[in-house]
Each structure stands twice: as C-alpha cells, then as structure tokens.
C-alpha cells in the first residue's frame, strides 16, 4: 500500500504580494524552497491561517534572499498581503518508507527569514 504523506512545509510565512494577472502559481524565495526541500513546479497545498482559505498550486522561484512569498493568478483572491500561510508538499510513500521519513519543517519570522529547520 502507498500513502500520501507530508514531505515538507514552510510554517507561518507572510504573504508579501499578490498578482491576479499572473497565470498562476506561488512564488517563493529559493532559500526557503531549498531549506524545505521544495522544487520549482512542485505541487503545494497552501493553508491561509488568517482567513481559513485553502488551495493547491505549484511553485516558482522568487527572488533569492528576498523573503518573497507571492500568490499569483486566481489564488490571489484567497490571500491578502500580510496573511500568514502554511505551504505544504506531500510525497507518495510505501508503508515501509513511512517508518523512515521525517517531514522537514521550516519555521520563519515576520520577514520570512528562517528561524528553525526541523
């Protein structure tokens, strides 16, 4: 049996911009992407702590060392600048793999700078 398990997340990041006219995606500082083991074009689930909205999209690289977390396209209707977001990736794993996998969690400050990786 295979299970969809949490692989990584960036926890309580602050939305820095929204762009309705962009075709879609979530732009994220590559420093955060690397720390969270996330890749461009990878599917992400986004949970808006500020208003309860949830949506699925994909990642693109933002500007390095900028703390950028931009919400683009239709999803921009679900987020306001300053909202607190959780960005999560998942991976399909066998039952055996689940015994050895520990999700990577990246905690950030108000400016989306890394405070802790666990």
Catalytic residue among 25, 27, 66, 94: 25
Question: 52-79: b or e for each residue (b if 16 or more CB lie within 10 Å)?
Answer: eeebebebbebeeebbbbbbbbebbebb
Q: Is 50 a catalytic residue?
A: no
58 is catalytic: yes
Cα first-last separation, the chain: 27
Strand partners, 72: 19, 25
Task: Indicate which residue of 2, 50, 58, 80 is catalytic.
Answer: 58
Catalytic positions are 25, 58
């Amino acid at each position: 049996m295979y299970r969809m398990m949490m692989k990584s997340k960036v926890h309580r990041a602050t939305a820095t911009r929204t762009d309705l006219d962009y075709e879609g995606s979530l732009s994220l500082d590559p420093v955060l992407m690397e720390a969270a083991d996330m890749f461009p074009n990878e599917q992400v689930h986004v949970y808006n702590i500020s208003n309860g909205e949830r949506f699925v999209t994909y990642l693109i690289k933002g500007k390095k060392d900028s703390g950028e977390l931009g919400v683009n396209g239709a999803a921009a209707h679900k987020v306001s600048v300053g909202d607190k977001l959780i960005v999560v990736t998942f991976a399909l794993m066998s039952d055996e793999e689940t015994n050895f996998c520990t999700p990577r969690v990246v905690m950030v400050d108000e400016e989306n700078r890394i405070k802790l990786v666990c």
